[in-house]
Structure 1
Amino acid sequence: MTEDAFTQELNAVLNTDPPAAQVVDRVATQTVDDVAVVTLAKPEAFNALSLASWRRLRTVFTELAQRDDLRAVVLRGAGTKAFAAGADIKEFPGTRMTAAAATDYNESIARALRAVAELPVPVIAAVQGLAVGGGCELITACDVRIASTDARFGIPIGKLGVTLGYTETVSVARLIGPAELKYLLFSGDLIGAGDAHRIGLVQRLTEPGDLIDAVTTLAGRIRAQSALTLKAAKLVTGMVGRPLTDADADTLARFTVEAYEGPDLKEGVAAFTERRTPVFGRKGEN
């Protein structure tokens, strides 16, 4: 697919809600060439996340991880009012009102967040409107967060009396730090996009009408680069802040061999020398 065709098709997908036939447990997956678009699809309830939705997200991202041709994923909410406004509280009496049920519920969230974070390719969160509670936690499992200036963020769980799980806590705190997370939890405040950008929760801000173009541009730039380089970059940056294990060292050594003895480096150097745009093979061909 040409760059222009990709841009037009991805823009078309992001500018419309997914067809009902593609929605399973309020989550839809669409594909534009080698980029997947995952949509939280409950706009009438601000894309609130049910237990089934969390489980579906884990399944979707586990399946996406098996695709050798995949280059990036865009995660978004249907409509313009919310990425996701937290949990579907109406289902709590049947899913989260005992310690045993809450443990199962929290583990479903943790598994979904790990599946998103561990996907080998970049995951872009496109945030417009509310990203609250589980929605705020979910965007922190993504690699990059691009938000419109009308977005609002927070984790006001003190108003419900639930606790924040360990996986969610680590996911948010690694971006904004424990002190900022404590402020969000203690105050119950929803902060604006500017404050979210200031504390590192969001990497880029756009006007609401420019959000889709910004996301499409980043996805296109990802597609134009070496898949091996970006996969290695995601893994090595994920190692920051923890001791390097023997498995980490083995992984880094493997990537070094694949990069410096593979075709992408040769193509990159040749393209630079010849003053042209590099044309890299797909992920499965590296």
Structure 2
Amino acid sequence: MEVDGRRVAVVSLGRPERHNALDLAAWHEIARLAGEFAQDRALRAVVVRGCGGRAFSAGADIAEFPSRRIGAGVADGYNESVARALASVAAVPVPVIAMVQGLAVGGGCELAAACDVRLATVGSRFGIPATRLGVTLGLTETRAVSRAIGAANLKYLLFSGALIDARQALAWGLVQQVVEEEGVVEVTAALVQSICLGSEVSVRAAKQVTDLAGADPSATEQHELLRALHEEAYDGPDLREGVAAFTERRPPVFRAGRS
């Protein structure tokens, strides 16, 4: 789809009859799509949503457990696929927005946490009831959720197996905005439009610098990525257009980085 002439991808988790449970094929598809998004220079944003309105995703498809997750050797391959998918989502260079309606549980919660921003309806619920199943979290998914809510809150979710509501998720930082059910599409579209109307250089830099700061506290302003982003922004046309638009009291029209 396009927003103001800019390309936006919408990923729909499409098993509403099973609350959009994620089987192994789904994790592979998520990784494949994220890899394609990373190479698409015309892409400006990605929205991930669940179909049916009752769930973003209820997590792993437990019907697969006997064949895919029982036995350490078999489970290793499954867990690597989940980690690869989540890492691929986090590595998409443009903003990835999770639009959550209903349940975001287990792998669904982890997928939402791998996105950059999460918008949720008031009836949404979040949790990772791993201890109720006897499974463990890998480092990739642990880091994704822990970055959003902190280690102590993640431990509470894991120890208790509880599902928290959207207001609690907002207080913890798992969700950035809670809206009424009928308004979530409009709010998501407004955020996407803001991204598309902003400077592509600045938006990509905002994501990459923030991720770098969280992942590598020892990074300095001389980091290779930071230097490259600095030069792209300050030597490119967007800054000049932004200053001119501010001076002339008009909306900026950014073109840098578009194919």
Structure 1 length-normalised TM: 0.87
Amino acid at match of 1:267: E
User: Within 5 Å, which residues of 2 pair with 1:61-210?
Assistant: 61-210=34-183
The alpha-carbon distance between structure 1 residues 63 and 247, as it changes in their structure 2 partners (threshold 3 A), is: farther
User: What is residue 276 of structure 1 aligned with on the other side?
Assistant: 250
**1:211-251 superposed Cα distances (whole Å, 9 cap, x missing partner):** 00000000000000000001111011012242345897011
Q: RMSD of the TM alignment (CA)?
A: 1.8
SS at match of 1:72: strand
**Among candidates 234, 240, 249, match of residue 223 of structure 2:** 249
> Matches of 1:282 and 1:115 in 2, distance apart?
25
> Matches of 1:250 and 1:224 in 2, distance apart?
27
> Matches of 1:107 and 1:246 in 2, distance apart?
32
> Matches of 1:83 and 1:69 in 2, distance apart?
27
Amino acid at match of 2:116: D
**Structure 2 unaligned spans of 5+:** none
Task: Say if 2:240 is the partner of 1:266.
Answer: yes
Amino acid at match of 2:232: E
The alpha-carbon distance between structure 1 residues 260 and 6, as it changes in their structure 2 partners (threshold 3 A), is: closer
Q: Percent identity?
A: 54
Amino acid at match of 1:134: G
User: What is residue 27 of structure 1 aligned with on the other side?
Assistant: none
**Among candidates 43, 54, 63, match of residue 16 of structure 2:** 43
> Matches of 1:195 and 1:255 in 2, distance apart?
36
> Matches of 1:185 and 1:273 in 2, distance apart?
52
> Matches of 2:210 and 2:222 in 1, distance apart?
12
Task: Say if 2:187 is the partner of 1:214.
Answer: yes
> Matches of 1:82 and 1:185 in 2, distance apart?
20
User: What is residue 11 of structure 1 aligned with on the other side?
Assistant: none
Amino acid at match of 1:283: G
**1:115-154 superposed Cα distances (whole Å, 9 cap, x missing partner):** 1101000001000000000000001110100000000000
CA contact (8 A) 2:213 2:219 kept: no
**Structure 1 unaligned spans of 5+:** 8-31
> Matches of 1:104 and 1:172 in 2, distance apart?
21
State the 1:94 CA deviation.
Answer: 1.1
**Among candidates 25, 33, 42, match of residue 52 of structure 1:** 25
CA contact (8 A) 2:53 2:102 kept: yes
CA contact (8 A) 1:71 1:283 kept: no
